[in-house]
Structure 1
Amino acid sequence: MECQSAVGVVGENTKIPCTFRVTTGDKHNTIYEVMIKKKGQKYPVFYINYTDKIVQGDPRVKLPSRTDPFLLFTNTTVSDEGEYEYKIMTNRGVIKGGFSLSVTAKYDPPVINSVPEEIKDRDGAELYCSTSGGYPAGGIHWFNSTGANWTERATLKITERDDRLLTMSSKLPLTVTDLRPRSFRCVVLNSSFSEVGETSSTLQRIGGPHSSPLPALAVGGVLVPVLILILIIIWFCRRRKRSPFEPDAEGGADGTETEEEEED
């Protein structure tokens, strides 16, 4: 009798198929006792004695059929993953063997957040892409609006939850220049480097939907002084063009001289 390795999904039932290999003409096989242990553990995860009607071990592990044997893990968890050994007593003798069980879980849809939440016009920011509930560890890739891969700039952090499922969070630091293309895409990869989820985010700044660091800097640091200088030049030009005998706003080029001329 041989049991095959399998890959289970967390929260679902996992079937470990087992088959008989007949080496003589007699194809009749009867199972009397089955014991399955996980390597490194003292007590079996499953034990059944059909003669004495004894069943022990994890109630999630079952052997539904005696004549068509297969092992069933119900509500598979991450802790079920590992190497197993089995010993089966039949009418043909004792059979020993082993199998492995791998476990996977799909990650939740990723979410992008920015720190700070409101990005000022001339400040940088940090983007965070987070996903949870998956297994085993995978990765997170970043792409900007032009499709360039910015993953090398990011830092990935993986933590284990109480149920041994994983949380992945990637931090992408951005400078003011990096924020010019405001659309960013986050892609979640599983352990086989296949895409299993993605999301995108378009950043908004406090300065307005069309604000940009460079135009803001130009207005504040260049255009305003230039405009002031132009106004000063215009004012001096107008003063130089004015005739010394041309009456001013008070009626003459000089108010006192005008009064003296009137007296004469």
Structure 2
Amino acid sequence: MASIGILFLFFIVIRAQSEEKTFVKVECKTGNAGQYGQQSVLDCVVKTAEEVKDPKILAVAWKKKGSEDPLLVFHKGETKGQPGYRFAESSWNDRNMNISLLITNTMMVNSGDYTCLVMTDCGDDITETSLRVTAKYNKPTISSIPEKITQREDVILLCSSVGGYPEGQLRWFDEHNKDWTASSKMEAELTNDGLFKLSSKLSLLKNSIFSKYTCVVFNSSGSKEDEVTLEIPDTATSKGQGEVKGSDQTSKIVAPLVVIGSLIVGLLLALLIYRRRSQRHHREVPTFESNAEQGGHVEMYKEHEDGTALSLPLSGDCSCHMDITTY
């Protein structure tokens, strides 16, 4: 590998001093996109002038800027490379002008600028390209403080998503798709593997909690990547309202019972009053009347405490007598 580094330096010096016509040119895609954890390809091909017939590649070297050792080298008929790097075409040989570099497992450290050097039997060239690595965020997760949600106390919803790059965003939506992101607070933490961990906290006030909240993760381009929904049980979200509804239902049941009970009590009171009046009417009534001029008499019954009645003649023509009548 050290010899290839010297070869790079020597080649650059020679190129700087050379003013001859170039018969070979390496053309690479200016920018390449790679996905974290997937394979990435840096596209490069060798182009030759029309007068060049059946060119043969003598040496190829791929090097990442900032790194001392080349990643992949073909020299003197042998191919050597660091683990995870090889030619994109598995059957590549010195007659194949496609010298694209394949990264088998793309990591964040692979993001950056690359240099490709090519030497042929008809000329040499060196060019640069770049790789931009992105990572898709994992499906978010939601938790709450407290774990059991009710309408009687404030609640904090926590959402997090990891494994993404570049920095994305977490947004909150309720059951009516209203955006509550402005009421939340998000933090982005860069982890050891070069990826971001996103965390968002949404505070909810008691008696104003919806039955569903969705946390959505967006990438740096603003595209939606994944989401998770927290459904709050009806018994939790409507506990306060349920108590009111339960009270209303109870009132609907009790009210008719109260009315019926009042009617029954009223009827019983009316019956009791009627009965007392009837008893009073029977206890104090005149038995008969006769005209005093005809020698008649009137007898009145007066009730005693022991339930007996005393008959008193009211006419002077009649002899006094007392009848004791027991009811």
- The reply to whether TM is greater than 0.5 is yes
Report the CA distance between 1:204 and its aligned residue: 4.4
- In the TM superposition, 1:222-233 aligns within 5 A as none
Normalised to the residue count of structure 2, the TM-score between the two structures is 0.59
Are 1:24 and 2:22 matched, yes or no? no
Matched-pair contact (CA < 8 Å) for 1:10–1:105 = yes
What is the aligned partner in structure 1 of residue 121 from structure 2?
A: 91
Q: Which has the higher contact order (CA 8 A, sep 6+)?
A: 1
What letter corresponds to residue 3 of structure 1 in structure 2? C
Does the C-alpha gap of structure 1 residues 118 and 62 become closer, same or farther in structure 2, counting only changes over 3 Å? same
* 1:182 corresponds to which of 188, 205, 211: 211
Counterpart AA for 1:211:
K
Q: Is 1:3 the equivalent of 2:28?
A: yes
- Matched residue, 2:222: 193
1:5-84 equivalence runs, <5 A: 5-51=31-77, 53=78, 55-56=80-81, 58-63=82-87, 64=90, 65-66=92-93, 67=96, 68-84=98-114
The 2-side partners of 1:127 and 1:211 are apart by: 19
Contact 1:39 1:84 in 2 (8 A): yes
- Secondary structure at 1:212 match in 2: helix
Q: Distance in 2 between matches of 1:209 and 1:110?
A: 23
The answer (yes or no) to whether the contact 1:122–1:213 under 8 Å persists in 2 is no
Q: Indicate the structure with greater helix content.
A: 2
Verify the 8 A CA contact 2:144 2:158 in the aligned structure 1.
yes
1:123-202 → structure 2 map (5 Å cutoff) = 123-179=153-209, 181-202=210-231
Q: Percent identity at matched positions?
A: 31
TM-score, normalised by the number of residues in structure 1: 0.72
1:185-237 deviations in Å (ceiling 9; x for gaps): 111111211111111112348x7552237977xx9xxxxxxxxxxxxxxxxxx
Cα deviation, residue 55, structure 1: 2.0
Once the two structures are superposed, residues 128-184 of structure 1 have per-residue CA deviations (whole angstroms, 9 ceiling, x without a partner) of 1111222222111111122211111111122233322222111111112441x2311
Residue 239 of structure 2 is matched in structure 1 by 211
**What are the residue-to-residue correspondences of 1:249-260 with 2, within 5 Å?**
none
**Conservation of the 8 A alpha-carbon contact between 1:155 and 1:170:** yes
Shift of 1:83: 1.0
* Matches of 1:120 and 1:167, distance apart in 2: 29
CA-CA distance at 1:115 after TM superposition? 1.2
Equivalent residue, structure 1, for 2:313:
none
Q: What is aligned with 1:256? A: none
Structure (1 or 2) with the larger CA radius of gyration: 2
Deviation of 1:95 after TM superposition, in Å, equals 0.8
Q: 1:106 to 1:54 in 2, by over 3 A?
A: closer
Amino acid at match of 2:224: E
Q: Are the counterparts in 1 of residues 150 and 237 from structure 2 also a CA contact under 8 Å?
A: no
**Aligned equivalent of 2:136:** 106
What is the distance in 2 between the residues matched to 1:127 and 1:27? 69
CA distance in 1 between partners of 2:177 and 2:236 (Å)? 25
Alignment RMSD (CA, Å): 2.5
